[in-house]
Chains A and B, each alone.
Chain A
Amino acid sequence: MTVATRLANAGDLASLRQKILAGRKSTKIAISVCAGTGCRAQGSMELFEEFQRELQEQNLTDVEVRATGCHGFCEQGPLVVIFPRKIFYRGVKVKDVPRIVEKTIRNNEVVDSLLFKDPATKKKCLLENEVPFYAKQQRIVFRNNGKIDPTQIDDYIAADGYAALAKVLTKMSAEQVIEQVSQAGLRGRGGGGFPTGRKWDICRAQPGDEKYVICNGDEGDPGAFMDRSIMEGDPNSVLEGMTIGAYAIGASRAYIYVRAEYPLAVTNLSIALEQSRSLGLLGENILGSDFSFDVEIVRGAGAFVCGEETALIASVQGDIGSPQQRPPYPAQAGLWGKPTNINNVETWANVPVIIDKGSKWFAGMGTEHSKGTKVFSLVGKVLNTGLVEVPMGTTLREIVYDIGGGIPKKRKFKAVQTGGPSGGCIPESLLDLPVDFEKLTEAGGMMGSGGLIVMDERTCMVDVAKYFLAFLVDESCGKCSPCREGVMQMHSILCRIVQGEGREGDIELLEQLAAYVKESSLCQLGGTAPNPVLSTLRHFRNEYEAHIKDKKCPAGVCTALVEFEVDEELCKGCGLCMRDCPTEAVIGEKKQPHKIDVELCIKCGVCYEDCPFDAVIAK
């Protein structure tokens, strides 16, 4: 960091920004290495060090190596981008470093083998924005991710960071801030979709001087990681958003609740807190104004239910993280019984841009009732997986096919599960659905955490429902009886159905239980827990019936209901299945059609997955 002196006013901040920018030549070569958790897991920090070592060895001291936040395309990591040309390398290994330095840094040449090859067109992409995964995205929340070093507040300031806060503190009243956010049409990205401006307004209107702001960084959906990536990659954007929100609400203290499984997020947030405090962007009289505000990090212990506002508050207080009945709402009696406003990470990160660019600009994106962008974590049976930020209203088809590159192995799309464990499955017939809060709910899914799991024809929807319910049984806090007992019973009914022990009336019983749990549960964990069952029953009822009546699993997943057989016409006798079968149940000669010995087969499905010719059939 260049300076650590307190910024006395907005002018100081602007001068600092000018000073930082002046010190950075736009032609300067910089190697940006993704240091998000995904790329780190694949060795990006070793890569980062290797670049530093190599450059020093070669005495290339004016080349900068920068560890940035997550780029989103985690599947292709570790990712490296060479500035100023923005050459995009994927799958970079330590052994590639000398080559990159030699060719790209010294000689401005491209290492062809490290470029991304579009599986659809077989064309190599030189730049990040040529990659189809990025081409259709619109990055607002992720504006800085992958570009700046999250541990350097200078980088954030250089990218217009804290300009919105300066604007708010010098030019806007609290009411104007709320008005701006309301007009932008920003809705809670935690899944509920409650209008953020209205939420702030309600909390602001509560009597009392002591109010709290909380950032929900619990991100309990195991498949979603956009909040983690923001906290890791651009922590200051969250802090800036929270500071603006606190100003609007009239709070002077805040907490960021981060799950303990996100150590890098905690580290980078802590660094950001320290740096922004030393600049006077947090603390007493921020930028010389009357407004004082500070933030503390609280680490959660990894309970799904702690994403629920009242449970989160309990956990921050050191109590058992179980939800409270509302009313009273957190805005009335939240943390320590005081009015409290909770928004999630992505919501907070949207705030500075809205202030910066205006509500009209923001409201210009999206659908009638859902504005701006939404980050999805695109996973499952899809070619390109990772974090995807698109304008609201983008269709599922665009996300799955244009960005995700479609289904691997040329299999058929079956469904996309949206919104996390308690979301729902949307069938192919609804692929052209423009994604927003209302549309997803109408289709039986939900926005929820922003998780998108793509499923192909070999996915059993009863098994999927069972899988998610198992998660919810495990994560139910156990406080209210519908969720604790009802979800458990639903799960055990699903278990018996996939075991081939489903009974006449089970579907009706499931529906009855689902309606009961949905309506009677204390919090939204229970309120949404039946969704996996309800949405699969709605769109894939025939699969349930096949399990119960015909004792068959059409997708060939439920081992108790399936027998594997080799289609002798399709089998080329490659021997792959024979090699992998753990019980030597596959028999046959090389280049001759194989057979499966039903007696020996334990129905593990390895052959079914293995076969390059889809010659193994599930019956």
Chain B
Amino acid sequence: MPQEISLTIDNTQVNVPEGTTILQAALNAGIDIPHLCYDPAWGLPPTSSCRLCLVELEAAGSLVPSCSHPAAAGMVVRTDTEKLRQTRRMVIELLLSDHPHDCLTCDKAGKCDLQKYAYQLGVKQPSFPVDPIPIEPVQDGPAIVYDRSKCILCGRCVQICQNLQISEAIDYLGRGFDTRISLPPGQSREQSVCTECGNCIDVCPTGAMSYAAAEGAGREWELETVPTICPYCGCGCTILMNIRKNRVVQITSHPDLGINKGLLCVKGRFGIDFISHAERLTAPLIRRDGKLVPATWDQALDLVAQRLLTIKNQFGPDAIAGLASAKCTNEENYIFQKFIRAVIGTNNVDHCARLCHASTVVGLARAFGSGAMTNSIEDFEVTDCIFVIGSNTTECHPIIGSAIKRAAVQRNAPLIVADPRAIELTEFSTIHMQQKGGTDVALINAMMNVILAEDLADKQFIAERTEDFDQLCKAVEPYTPEFAEKITSVPAADIIRAARIYAQAPAASIVYSMGITQHTTGTDNVLSLANLAMLTGNLGKPGAGVNPLRGQNNVQGACDLAALPNVYPGYQKVDNPDLQAKFEKAWAAKLSPKPGLTVVEIINAAAQGKLKAIYIMGENPMLSDPDVNHVEKALKNLDFLVVQDIFLSETAQLADVVLPATAFAEKDGTFTNTERRVQMLRAGLEPPGQSRLDWDILCDLARRMGYPVSYDHVSQIQDEIASLTPIYGGITYDRLTHQSLQWPCPDADHPGTPYLHKGRFTRGLGKFHPVEFIPAKELPDQDYPFLLSTGRILEHFHTGTMSRRSEVLDELVSVGAIEINPADADRLAIADGQNVRVASRRGQIEIAARLTDRVAPATVFLAFHYREAPANRLTIAALDPIAKIPEFKVCAVSIQPA
């Protein structure tokens, strides 16, 4: 602990810990010192460049910048003398001497720090000729505009880009009066490393950095600011919707808010405009004579109620299935599964978690007892080592990606990356192990082999907290690094080094995502990682853990609230009679003890005619599921398909009834992010047309089907969840209005759980599972010589329903491309940008080729966002036998110039 020192600021005695700056000491004491280039809220290192925060030191008689000058014992500081006021006026006058005086029309007016201080300091008549730099604003990408004439060169944008975002995309260019902020000279934004995250806009104290589309759309005093949660990935960033006339004008953020502490990525900041897209559904649609035509709610809901009841009566409740949504709120998912279970009477409910982290839920539950991220995002600030395997974090979870980069760059925490592609994180990594797709078990087993051979295991942890260790030892014994090298093609020396670094770190964190889960051996992969963490005692403490990054904003919540076929909310098993009785009582309905079908099984059952009706809420299996040709056949084979969505998705186009739902910006409720954090969503907009809240639609439908259910407000649903779900027991609407909570949170006094398994695993002892390497289901051969891996890119999301309806995101990346190694392209005479035909045993697509070393020879990578070139026409519906997750990451394809 630093020593406490005492100093005098403006005749007030102030006590602060040694090392505190004068500015911070003054702010603590309620003394405001004007400051422009430094904003304490962001925690960026002070540059001391604006000189507005100068204060007088009595002893030295000199002026020092309070933002950086350390407070010292006995120091006497004056912050508000006539001399200082004069100096500060001069700072502002000089800055205004080449700044356009266009506050009347400037978008920043009212929120501009320069304007604020000019007013506070009474700078009226400039002493210098007003001579703005006659330079037009620069717009290098679709979103960010830089107006140099308004730039005061405070450097906050450079700082956030370099120190928080770790992009180093922009810097000062030029010298003296010619200094400006710029991308590297001669580089376009596309060539540069700028990800268009726009964090520079939020830190800019003037109107120099702005969002192009927000120009003229409203100013500070006209805007209502509503904090809510980003609807894209599982990071769960807090965003601020700036709303005017029922339209989100701009998304901003604040360093004090949310897990993102003010940082956003390009999707969160610029990708929200889809909510006001012209294609939003505004009225229910009913298929008449093969066409979807508008109908009233009564017509639509009566029709759904009648058809579902008919099918239930004729074929039994198990002939009906529901797909819930990782995009919808916890409350909506809760109501959805309650509807399927209590009103329909089946457990046939699942959602897209099946396609991303089913193997996590199963694997981690088996090893530890809880199938969720063990630690918190904040832990990346303290971890001693990060092992990222199968996660392209900077593109798929950008805010966590930045946190990992900060750990590597600023704290020199070793970063081990295992990925078949040379993803961005490899530029920051200590070691990059470029394993062949689908060989993770061999790689992880070999790391454990090294750890055991070199006596690096945490013996005490193993002895006290785990079971079946001897089985693990036996299983990994044959996996010497040399043996694994043959399978994975990762040099044995790298495996040894990685194992040592990971094992020797006091607290090491494993981060993984779909590169691990989306395999026929997905559960095995997850169990291997669980083994590795337990072997080294990396559980139940800060900075450690096994950390699956969840892909959707609320995929964690949808799982928690039982949009799964085998559990009730809070992972309470449906085949447990006590729990069945508990829920039958609570829901006043007879429930089925039989676990239901999973996503791919639902599709297969539909194709086979066993399933007659599907109710889909906010999902788009026509693009998201493997082998979509098969999916299309299956859905067309149904008697009745209901889709509840905000757009007429590829799936909705096949529906018999389409129900217009609300987007995240229009509703209250909660999302649970990847680190089990339940966060409040706040409605800022009125829903368009006749669209209705998802839970409201479902309750109405239930009533029409004879099940009396109604809620006045989403908080009533939350209360019901809390009463039935132990891990959500203490999570209530009132608490969430001023905080977020990480489950398990069993009661109203519980503060939430930042990391799991402290002292004891959820299941008691951690269980080692011996895992053998099994090759992927379909490997390249003569006919299909390339290994195809699918995934996401930064600028788009999932099936593109949202992101491809965002102007900025669509302009950034408007067409898909398949990544192919230049050596292969050369052999096949394929040029960069040329269209190629990609074929698998299941289908084929045509798409442009992108030549890049990111992929190894004989492998190709394709994002699955594009309806015009659906990657999932190619993928295989081979399933992990336990988790039933499809093998999106490995299948065999051929490539020909188109």
Chain A interface (Cβ within 8 Å of chain B)?
Answer: 303, 320, 322, 324-325, 327, 473-482, 484-486, 488-489, 492, 509, 512-513, 516, 519-522
Say whether B177 contacts A476, CB under 8 Å. Answer: yes
The interface centre, meaning the residue of A325, A512, A521 with most chain B CB atoms within 10 A of its CB, is A325
Interface residues of B in 157-206 (CB under 8 A from A): 171-172, 174-179
Write the nearest CB–CB distance from B74 to chain A, whole angstroms: 16
CA A486 to CA B175, docked complex, whole Å: 15
Residues of the A chain whose Cβ atoms lie less than 8 Å from the Cβ of B63:
519-520
Write the nearest CB–CB distance from B21 to chain A, whole angstroms: 11
Q: Which listed residue, A303, A478, A512, touches B179 by the CB 8 Å rule?
A: A478
Of B94-102, B650-658, B790-798, the segment with at least 4 beta carbons within 8 Å of chain A is B94-102
Closest residue of chain A to B174 (Cβ to Cβ) is A478
The interface centre, meaning the residue of B69, B90, B91, B178 with most chain A CB atoms within 10 A of its CB, is B90
Residues of the A chain whose Cβ atoms lie less than 8 Å from the Cβ of B179:
477-479, 484
Residues of the A chain whose Cβ atoms lie less than 8 Å from the Cβ of B242:
none
Say whether B51 contacts A480, CB under 8 Å. Answer: yes
Say whether A481 contacts B69, CB under 8 Å. Answer: no
CA A516 to CA B91, docked complex, whole Å: 9
Which label, helix, strand, loop or mixed, suits the secondary structure of the A interface?
Answer: helix
Q: Which listed residue, A473, A474, A480, A519, touches B87 by the CB 8 Å rule?
A: A519
Closest residue of chain A to B180 (Cβ to Cβ) is A478
Is B46 interfacial (CB-CB < 8 Å)?
Answer: yes
Closest residue of chain B to A526 (Cβ to Cβ) is B51
Residues of the A chain whose Cβ atoms lie less than 8 Å from the Cβ of B49:
479-481, 522
Given known contacts A322-B172, A478-B172, A478-B174, what 6 new A-B pairs fall within 8 Å (CB)?
A320-B171, A324-B48, A478-B153, A481-B50, A482-B51, A520-B63
Is B895 interfacial (CB-CB < 8 Å)?
Answer: no
CA A320 to CA B91, docked complex, whole Å: 24
Contact sample, A vs B, 15 pairs, CB 8 Å cutoff:
A324-B48, A325-B68, A478-B172, A478-B176, A480-B48, A480-B49, A482-B91, A485-B94, A485-B95, A488-B176, A489-B94, A509-B127, A512-B90, A520-B90, A522-B48
Write the nearest CB–CB distance from B691 to chain A, whole angstroms: 51
Is B618 interfacial (CB-CB < 8 Å)?
Answer: no
Say whether A474 contacts B176, CB under 8 Å. Answer: yes
CA A453 to CA B63, docked complex, whole Å: 32
Is B47 interfacial (CB-CB < 8 Å)?
Answer: yes
The interface centre, meaning the residue of B49, B95, B98, B179 with most chain A CB atoms within 10 A of its CB, is B49
Say whether B65 contacts A481, CB under 8 Å. Answer: no
Say whether B176 contacts A325, CB under 8 Å. Answer: no
CA A485 to CA B48, docked complex, whole Å: 15
Closest residue of chain A to B128 (Cβ to Cβ) is A489
Write the nearest CB–CB distance from B82 to chain A, whole angstroms: 14
Write the nearest CB–CB distance from B173 to chain A, whole angstroms: 9
Interface residues of B in 320-368 (CB under 8 A from A): none
Write the nearest CB–CB distance from A322 to chain B, whole angstroms: 7
CA A520 to CA B84, docked complex, whole Å: 10
Write the nearest CB–CB distance from A37 to chain B, whole angstroms: 26
Say whether A473 contacts B94, CB under 8 Å. Answer: no
Write the nearest CB–CB distance from B478 to chain A, whole angstroms: 45
CA A489 to CA B131, docked complex, whole Å: 11
Band of interface residues on B: 35 or more
Q: Which listed residue, B54, B97, B172, touches A489 by the CB 8 Å rule?
A: B97
Say whether B48 contacts A325, CB under 8 Å. Answer: yes
| Contact count A vs B, C-beta below 8 Å | 93
Closest residue of chain B to A516 (Cβ to Cβ) is B90
CA A256 to CA B51, docked complex, whole Å: 32
Residues of the A chain whose Cβ atoms lie less than 8 Å from the Cβ of B97:
485, 489
Closest residue of chain B to A322 (Cβ to Cβ) is B172
Closest residue of chain A to B83 (Cβ to Cβ) is A519
CA A481 to CA B128, docked complex, whole Å: 15
Interface string of B126-164 (1 = CB under 8 A from A): 011100000000000000000000001101000000000
Write the nearest CB–CB distance from B2 to chain A, whole angstroms: 16
Residues of the B chain whose Cβ atoms lie less than 8 Å from the Cβ of A492:
129
Say whether A478 contacts B50, CB under 8 Å. Answer: no
Q: Which listed residue, B46, B87, B128, B171, touches A516 by the CB 8 Å rule?
A: B87
The interface centre, meaning the residue of A303, A481, A509, A513 with most chain B CB atoms within 10 A of its CB, is A481
Interface string of B47-71 (1 = CB under 8 A from A): 1111100100000001101001110
Closest residue of chain B to A478 (Cβ to Cβ) is B179
CA A278 to CA B156, docked complex, whole Å: 49
Say whether A480 contacts B50, CB under 8 Å. Answer: yes
Residues of the B chain whose Cβ atoms lie less than 8 Å from the Cβ of A485:
94-95, 97-98, 177
Write the nearest CB–CB distance from B643 to chain A, whole angstroms: 55
Residues of the A chain whose Cβ atoms lie less than 8 Å from the Cβ of B127:
509
Write the nearest CB–CB distance from B403 to chain A, whole angstroms: 22
CA A516 to CA B54, docked complex, whole Å: 12
Say whether B177 contacts A477, CB under 8 Å. Answer: no
Say whether A325 contacts B65, CB under 8 Å. Answer: yes
Say whether A478 contacts B177, CB under 8 Å. Answer: yes
Say whether B70 contacts A327, CB under 8 Å. Answer: yes
CA A322 to CA B158, docked complex, whole Å: 14
CA A522 to CA B69, docked complex, whole Å: 12
Residues of the A chain whose Cβ atoms lie less than 8 Å from the Cβ of B128:
489
Write the nearest CB–CB distance from A519 to chain B, whole angstroms: 5
CA A482 to CA B62, docked complex, whole Å: 16
Residues of the A chain whose Cβ atoms lie less than 8 Å from the Cβ of B65:
325, 522
CA A522 to CA B54, docked complex, whole Å: 11
Say whether A481 contacts B91, CB under 8 Å. Answer: yes
Write the nearest CB–CB distance from B123 to chain A, whole angstroms: 14
Say whether A520 contacts B95, CB under 8 Å. Answer: no
Say whether A475 contacts B70, CB under 8 Å. Answer: no
Residues of the B chain whose Cβ atoms lie less than 8 Å from the Cβ of A322:
172
The interface centre, meaning the residue of B51, B68, B127, B177 with most chain A CB atoms within 10 A of its CB, is B51
Write the nearest CB–CB distance from A96 to chain B, whole angstroms: 46
Write the nearest CB–CB distance from B412 to chain A, whole angstroms: 12
CA A513 to CA B98, docked complex, whole Å: 16
Residues of the A chain whose Cβ atoms lie less than 8 Å from the Cβ of B172:
320, 322, 478-479
Say whether A479 contacts B177, CB under 8 Å. Answer: no
Residues of the B chain whose Cβ atoms lie less than 8 Å from the Cβ of A520:
51, 54, 63, 87, 90-91
CA A476 to CA B178, docked complex, whole Å: 10
A320-B171, A476-B175 known; A325 vs B46 contact (CB < 8 Å): yes
CA A324 to CA B46, docked complex, whole Å: 10
Write the nearest CB–CB distance from A327 to chain B, whole angstroms: 7
The interface centre, meaning the residue of B70, B87, B176 with most chain A CB atoms within 10 A of its CB, is B176
The interface centre, meaning the residue of A473, A474, A478, A509 with most chain B CB atoms within 10 A of its CB, is A478
Residues of the A chain whose Cβ atoms lie less than 8 Å from the Cβ of B48:
324-325, 480, 522
Residues of the A chain whose Cβ atoms lie less than 8 Å from the Cβ of B69:
325, 327
Residues of the B chain whose Cβ atoms lie less than 8 Å from the Cβ of A521:
51
Closest residue of chain A to B177 (Cβ to Cβ) is A488
A519-B63, A522-B49 known; A481 vs B87 contact (CB < 8 Å): no
A325-B48, A489-B128, A519-B63 known; A481 vs B68 contact (CB < 8 Å): no
Write the nearest CB–CB distance from B163 to chain A, whole angstroms: 13
CA A327 to CA B176, docked complex, whole Å: 23
A520-B51, A522-B51 known; A481 vs B177 contact (CB < 8 Å): no
Residues of the A chain whose Cβ atoms lie less than 8 Å from the Cβ of B152:
481
Residues of the A chain whose Cβ atoms lie less than 8 Å from the Cβ of B95:
481, 485
Write the nearest CB–CB distance from B182 to chain A, whole angstroms: 12
Q: Which listed residue, A303, A479, A519, A522, touches B153 by the CB 8 Å rule?
A: A479
CA A522 to CA B90, docked complex, whole Å: 15
Write the nearest CB–CB distance from A616 to chain B, whole angstroms: 36
Say whether B176 contacts A477, CB under 8 Å. Answer: yes
Q: Which listed residue, B70, B86, B177, touches A484 by the CB 8 Å rule?
A: B177
Closest residue of chain B to A512 (Cβ to Cβ) is B90
Closest residue of chain A to B178 (Cβ to Cβ) is A478
Say whether A473 contacts B176, CB under 8 Å. Answer: yes
A516-B90, A520-B87 known; A484 vs B176 contact (CB < 8 Å): yes
